[in-house]
Amino acid sequence: MAKAILGHVGGPDHRMVAEMRRLQQRVHDLEAAVVRLQEENDALAAEVGHDLLMPVREPVLA
């Protein structure tokens, strides 16, 4: 089982290690972008005002 995890007896493949590092950095960058966009969205929502964010109720037809 350890051979399957490591890829072969010689240890981890350097290409796989480099790819894992690249993917971890990409995830970190995307998480930072999400936080930045959430902050921008909150700032824009505060500027718009609460009244405009409330759904408009349609009149009831009798």
Residue pLDDT, tens place only, 17-38: 999 999 999 999 999 999 999 9
In a domain, 62, yes or no: no
Q: What domain range includes position 34?
A: 2-48
- Residue 41, CA distances (Å) to 36, 45, 50 in order: 9, 6, 13
Assess if residue 32 is contained within a domain: yes
In a domain? residue 14: yes
| Cα torsion angle, 11, 2, 9, 7, sign | negative
Structural domains in the chain (count): 1
Higher pLDDT, 43 or 51: 43
pLDDT at residue number 47: 81
Q: Do the domain assignments include residue 42? A: yes
Task: Indicate whether 60 belongs to any domain.
Answer: no
User: Identity (one letter) of the amino acid at 26?
Assistant: R
